[in-house]
Copies of this chain bind each other. A is one copy, B any other.
Amino acid sequence: MFLSKSFGYALRGVLYVALLEPKGKKIKIEQIADKLAVPRHFLAKIMKKMVQENILTSTKGPYGGFSLSPITLQTKLLHLVKITDGMEQFNTCVLSLRKCNSKNPCPLHFQMLQIRDGMLAEFSKTSIGDLLDKKNPDFIKSISVI
């Protein structure tokens, strides 16, 4: 309901790179997909989009893989949502009637506005770096299927 699987894969993928990449090596998509138990090629498409948006960098060829970009840790979650789910949901009426609009509200409009604005606020202020907790030795578990 709230967010697509793609969004979850994107966030877990970038967090995995952020957690391990500082060791110096690039992270291969195969390793990410294996460790996170995510469909490899599906994840690859999502990672590619993140690279296009400069949320990650990647290099092809031997010793290649994914690594952080200068903006990775400052990237807001809303940017990931934009990439994976799009922003239409935030200004489309929950009853699928039309563009959501306070001048011409549906019966649920103001309730939904509050909920969506809460989510928008949270995702606008929270960055990928905010979610990364390198000090926690169990952090890797928190982004893996148990």
A residues neighboring B (CB under 8 Å): 1-5, 7-8, 11-12, 15, 77, 85, 89, 94-98, 104-108, 111-112, 114-116, 118-119, 122, 126, 131-133, 139, 142-146
Contact = CB atoms under 8 A, between A and B. Distances in A.
Q: Which of A12, A132, A133, A142 has the most chain B CB atoms closer than 10 A to its own CB?
A: A142
B119 A85 contact: no
Contact of A95 (B11, B106, B126): B11
A2 to B, nearest CB: 6
A122 B126 contact: no
A1 B84 CA distance: 12
A126 B114 CA distance: 14
Given A1-B2, A2-B116, A115-B118, 16 more contacts: A1-B4, A2-B2, A2-B112, A3-B94, A5-B96, A7-B94, A11-B95, A11-B107, A95-B143, A97-B145, A104-B142, A105-B142, A107-B132, A107-B139, A107-B142, A107-B143
List the 5 shortest-distance A-B pairs measured between CB atoms, nearest first. A1-B89, A8-B95, A107-B131, A8-B96, A115-B119
